[in-house]
Amino acid sequence: MQLGDVLDVVDLDVQTASIEITRVEIDSRQCEPGTLFFALAGESVHGASFVDDAVRRGAVAVVASAKVKTDVAMVLVPETQLRALLARASAAIVGRPDEHLELVGVTGTNGKTSVTTLVAALARSLGWNAASIGTLTNERTTPAPPELFRSMADLVGTFDDTRGRSVVALEVSSHALDQHRVEGLAFAVVAFTNLSHDHLDYHGSMENYFAVKASLFSVEHAARAVVWCDDPYGERLAEMTKLPLTRVRRSDAKDVVASLRSTMFFWRSHLVNTSLIGDYNVDNSLMAMEILRALGANEASIASAMAGVAAVPGRFEVVGDDDVVVIVDYAHTPEGLRRLLEDVRALVEGGRVITVFGCGGDRDRAKRPEMGEVASTNSEITIVTSDNPRSESPDAIIDAIIAGTVQGATVLRQSDRRLAIAQAISLAKSGDAVVIAGKGHESTQVIGNLAAPFDDRVVARELLK
């Protein structure tokens, strides 16, 4: 494909416009012959620093907001237009796969992964082509445009044309919205799960955080909206948006009966029987079912399909349920952890709740004491340990968490995560529940620059033996 077609909104001279492009990249390490390299400003280093590396690996043209010395073609565009142009170019180079899909965008602090996974699973049960893109499938919650559009193109290539409908549910993070990663995408449905303390190191305030999330709910981005309105920010968003709207509330689930093995309730007069566990998974199920309904699926068929939907990896995943129940969950925000522990409390009658958790390094520091307060308030025993400390001192992170724990609570510290899990299991008695929170499905632990193999579920099963 020629550069003039990839950058069809930019005026180029004839020679530059005729350069053959086969790939678009923002990471110089991923460049190969025929690559168009976008030099973007990063959190700590500007992409302009990697132009030479990109060219050595085969980049044949560079797009930047300021001139960089290089032997290949240089295209200059204003900084304010750079990321939008990246999204447009990334889509063009792989043939605009989004035009062959019905896209569902799900945003919110908690529940994005569960809802997108459930939407895809329900759609497949209805006989549609369907998949999700997000935390479980890619390194970032919402991939950067080159990876995002390649992922969509790969999915389109695997879908069966005879099935008629093709749906992709995409997790849309606040970072992705702020950085224009979903620029130009037309969503059939956008959904909002909730908003609580997270990423304030990036956004600065809850108002800024909300404004970024709310930007997805415009006629420029989507055709319909599904919004969880038991959340105050959700109710506020529902009042703001001009999109055709479905409001969702917990009261939409009637006669809920829950156990550690399954959950049953009525939705729109239809019985829903699911293997998903916990009250917050009732919320996630309601959101997913309403999204399918917004896409035009039959209500009775949606409710029936929930019976075949498997639990989402690392989300209220029960890895041991004999004398001692062991639950692994991704909860890594104060509100997410509170909901998780309240659900566990309701399902483990009379037993104690023993919680193992930590907080990630190089991330929102303000939520650490809040997490400590939530865990120590809702657990008989709290063991504070390492999550992914990254470049920070594990002990310093633990200190910040413990500073928020409530006076008189039983709080232990053990920086070695495996030993912390072992300690929790050894302290548990028959009828107790051990909750291992924060990492969920993750299979590595990042310490410094090293990602060492570590899966809470695997470790717990080994220790239970």
What digits encode the pLDDT tens for the residues 253-288? 999 999 998 999 999 999 999 999 999 999 999 999
Q: What does the pLDDT read at residue 272? A: 98
**Residue 88 resides in a domain:** no
- List residues bridging with 23 in a β-sheet: 35
Position 44 pLDDT exceeds 90? no
Residue 439 CA to residue 270 CA, distance in Å, equals 34
> For the segment 137-189, what is each residue's pLDDT rounded down to a tens digit?
998 889 999 999 999 999 999 999 999 899 999 999 999 999 889 988 999 99
Whether the Cβ atoms of residue 141 and residue 134 lie closer than 8 Å to each other? yes
**Residue 87 resides in a domain:** no
Q: Check whether residue 208 and residue 328 sit in a common domain.
A: no
Residue 401 CA to residue 405 CA, distance in Å, equals 7
Q: Check whether residue 327 and residue 217 sit in a common domain.
A: no
Query: Cβ–Cβ contacts within 10 Å for residue 196, how many?
Result: 19
| Cα–Cα nearest to 142, from 167, 169, 161, 118 | 169
Query: Cβ–Cβ contacts within 10 Å for residue 165, how many?
Result: 16
Position 238 pLDDT exceeds 90? yes
**Residue 86 resides in a domain:** no
Q: What does the pLDDT read at residue 140? A: 84
Q: Check whether residue 243 and residue 269 sit in a common domain.
A: yes
Residue 20 CA to residue 452 CA, distance in Å, equals 40
**Rg of the Cα trace of the chain?**
23
Domain count, the chain: 3
- Full residue range of the structural domain in which residue 289 is found: 97-308
Q: SS in 3 state form for the chain?
A: CEHHHHCCCCCCCHHHHCCECCEEECCHHHCCCCEEEECCECCCCEHHHHHHHHHHCCEEEEEECCCCCCCCEEEECCHHHHHHHHHHHHHHHCCCHHHHCEEEEEECCCCHHHHHHHHHHHHHHCCCEEEEECCCCCCCCCCCHHHHHHHHHHHHHHCCHHHCCEEEEEECCHHHHHCCCCCCCCEEEEEECCCCCCCHHHHCCHHHHHHHHHCCCCCCCEEEEEEECCCHHHHHHHHHCCCCEEEECHHHEEEEEECCCCEEEEECCEEEEECCCCHHHHHHHHHHHHHHHHCCCCHHHHHHHHHHCCCCCCCCEEEEECCCEEEEECCCCHHHHHHHHHHHHHHCCCCCEEEEECCCCCCCCCHHHHHHHHHHHCCCEEEECCCCCECCCHHHHHHHHHCCCCCCCEEEECCCHHHHHHHHHHHCCCCCEEEEECCCCCCEEEECCEEEECCHHHHHHHHHC
Q: Check whether residue 101 and residue 232 sit in a common domain.
A: yes
Q: What does the pLDDT read at residue 212? A: 94
Q: What mean pLDDT do residues 4-32 have?
A: 96
CATH number, position 422: 3.90.190.20
Of 78, 108, 129, which closes a domain? 78
Q: Which two tokens stand for residue 356?
A: 């193992």
**Residue 144 resides in a domain:** yes
Whether the Cβ atoms of residue 206 and residue 213 lie closer than 8 Å to each other? no
Q: Check whether residue 364 and residue 382 sit in a common domain.
A: yes
Q: What does the pLDDT read at residue 322? A: 79
Of 262, 288, 308, which closes a domain? 308
Q: Check whether residue 188 and residue 207 sit in a common domain.
A: yes
Angle ∠(386,392,393) on CA atoms, nearest 5? 65
Among the residue ranges 117-121, 234-238, 312-316, 370-374, the one predicted with the least confidence is 312-316
CATH number, position 23: 3.40.1390.10
Residue 124 CA to residue 116 CA, distance in Å, equals 12
Position 368 pLDDT exceeds 80? yes
**Residue 182 resides in a domain:** yes
Tell me which amino acid residue 209 is.
Answer: Y
Percent of the chain with pLDDT over 70: 100
Whether the Cβ atoms of residue 334 and residue 196 lie closer than 8 Å to each other? yes
Q: What mean pLDDT do residues 56-76 have?
A: 96
Q: What does the pLDDT read at residue 108? A: 96
Residue 118 CA to residue 380 CA, distance in Å, equals 33
Position 321 pLDDT exceeds 90? no
Residue 222 CA to residue 271 CA, distance in Å, equals 30
**Residue 90 resides in a domain:** no
Q: What mean pLDDT do residues 411-432 have?
A: 97
Q: Check whether residue 61 and residue 108 sit in a common domain.
A: no
Q: Check whether residue 230 and residue 328 sit in a common domain.
A: no
**Residue 289 resides in a domain:** yes
| Cα–Cα nearest to 88, from 203, 183, 171 | 183
| Cα–Cα nearest to 37, from 74, 62, 60 | 62
Q: Check whether residue 280 and residue 338 sit in a common domain.
A: no
Q: What mean pLDDT do residues 340-360 have?
A: 94
Q: What does the pLDDT read at residue 232? A: 97
Burial of 251 (0-12, 13-18, 19+ CB in 10 A): exposed
Q: What does the pLDDT read at residue 349? A: 84
Q: What does the pLDDT read at residue 424? A: 98
Rounded (10°) angle between helices 112-125 and 279-294: 50
| Cα–Cα nearest to 442, from 328, 363, 356 | 328
Residue 285 CA to residue 278 CA, distance in Å, equals 11
Q: Check whether residue 350 and residue 281 sit in a common domain.
A: no
> What does the chain come to in residues?
465
Q: Check whether residue 205 and residue 136 sit in a common domain.
A: yes
Of 20, 48, 78, which closes a domain? 78
**Residue 85 resides in a domain:** no
CATH number, position 118: 3.40.1190.10
Q: Check whether residue 287 and residue 324 sit in a common domain.
A: no
